[in-house]
Amino acid sequence: MHSSTSNSDLEFTRAIPDVPWRRMLLAVALITIAATVLWEINARALGYRPTLNDTPDLWAEARSSVQPDSLVLLGTSRMLFDVDLDLVEKQLGQRPVQLSIVGSSPFPILADLASDESFRGTVLLDIVPAMYLAPAGPPVEASEKALQRYRTWNHSQRWSHRLGVILESHLAFLKQEDLTLAKLLERLPIPDRANAQIAPAMPPYFYTIDRNRRARMFDEAAVVGSPLQQRIAHGWLPLFSPPPAPSFIPVEQFQQMMGQAVEARFAETARHVARIQSRGGKVVFLRLPVTGPLHEREEQLAPRGATWDRLLRENNVPAIHFAEHADLAAFDCPEWSHLSAPDSVEFTRRLVPHLQTALNNHPVAPMLASGGPTPARSALAR
């Protein structure tokens, strides 16, 4: 016999507990607010203060503002820390767009500007040879991550970024570089193992950054001998030590692969620079101050003659190396790699005349038929 089930047998009613929901909601809200306030107080007690995070969204916002005739600052964190945007604008007559990225190789972004047929502006390129010539790894990934966000930036991400800017401007604990769960877990003292080498620790958070991506070092980080300064300074040397060759590739083969990749980087740089110049643009190479043991380590890792000097020989660009000018070489980086906030202003004041000389004395490549420079750019092209 066929059995049948009535609709009433399938009905289901969820039992809602008879609890004081409003009081529970209020209690949860009060606990959340109290926990947030306590975490904010703790973050400020640890030395943190409200400032923006240098996210791919903040970078994408800056990249979106690049115009055909823009003055673009490109490079590593040294360009972020050492060059004052207000002084550059005042003395060169144009507000620069800051596209430098902490811990990055600027090569992918140079390639992006070269492929942008509308761009015919001026690029001030900060070169740290060991990072610029890195064929892969974290320096390249940092730039590629920012470029990917710019290329796929949607409306939801834009609005999320705007909200984030408001919150980060008022709350000290919103620090993606130090205070997220992932970053806190990275501080656990896990030793190296046979098949798992622990990467060198990144330096602690020690700077503020504004909406224009101008970075300024904390005052404490500029005090030689302070705990923060010591942590930062002694963290650079492990980061500027090349990783061991992969165990699954013979050392000779790995060295050959790396050599070929670096050779390709030299050749591609020349192509990208020439492409920008062919549209009437200019590129200036900069070597910004580095001091102490880190300067020695960088020279060991990427000797000047084989890197910086070769880049100059193979590219028709003006260049400014801090060590070649007494007024620029007079600065001391308190943590070996960046200038303090006050020194960065004075350094920029001294750097700009060298930039003006370099830009005025170096002829611009012939303009393409697409058009000439705009009036704003002509001030840089004089």
Model pLDDT, residue 64: 94
Query: What is the per-residue burial (b if ≥16 Cβ within 10 Å, else e) of 331-366?
Result: bebbbbbbbbbebbbbbbeebbebbeebbeebebbe
**Contacts by 151-160 with C-beta closer than 8 Å and gap 24+?**
153/57, 153/60, 153/64, 157/57, 158/57, 160/57
What is the rounded CA–CA span in Å between residue 52 and residue 71? 23
What is the rounded CA–CA span in Å between residue 131 and residue 373? 32
Asked if residues 64 and 29 have their Cβ atoms less than 8 Å apart, the reply is: no
Distance of CA 117 to the CA centre of its chain: 24
| pTM, two decimal places | 0.82
- What is the secondary structure of 51-105 as a DSSP string? -----HHHHHHHHHT--TT-EEEESSHHHHHH--HHHHHHHHSSPPEE---TT--
What is the rounded CA–CA span in Å between residue 235 and residue 220? 16
List pLDDT tens digits, range 146-186: 999 999 988 888 898 888 888 888 888 887 777 777 767 66
Ordered by start, the domain boundaries in the chain are 56-182+205-381
Residue with tokens 């107080």: 41
Residue with tokens 């000797």: 303
More confident residue, 382 or 287: 287
Model pLDDT, residue 141: 93
List pLDDT tens digits, range 90-109: 999 999 999 999 989 999 99
Model pLDDT, residue 51: 83
Q: What phi, psi does 356 have (nearest 5°)?
A: -60, -45
Kind and range of the H or E run holding 123: strand 122-126
Over residues 255-259, the mean pLDDT reads 76
List pLDDT tens digits, range 9-33: 567 777 778 888 888 999 999 999 9
The whole-chain average pLDDT of the chain stands at: 85
| Bridge partners (DSSP) listed for residue 359 | none
List pLDDT tens digits, range 330-375: 999 999 999 999 999 999 999 999 999 998 876 554 433 333 333 3
What is the rounded CA–CA span in Å between residue 68 and residue 59? 18
Asked if residues 74 and 125 have their Cβ atoms less than 8 Å apart, the reply is: yes
**pLDDT range class, residue 256, cuts 50, 70, 90:** confident
Which runs of consecutive H residues, i.e. helices, occur in the chain? 7-10, 21-45, 56-64, 77-82, 85-92, 107-115, 129-132, 138-152, 155-168, 181-186, 227-239, 251-278, 292-301, 308-314, 326-329, 341-361, 375-381
List pLDDT tens digits, range 299-326: 998 899 999 999 999 998 999 999 999 9
Total residue count of the chain as it appears in this document = 382
More confident residue, 126 or 247: 126
List pLDDT tens digits, range 199-235: 666 777 888 899 999 999 999 888 998 988 888 888 8
Residue 376: is its pLDDT beyond 70? no
Kind and range of the H or E run holding 125: strand 122-126
Model pLDDT, residue 194: 63
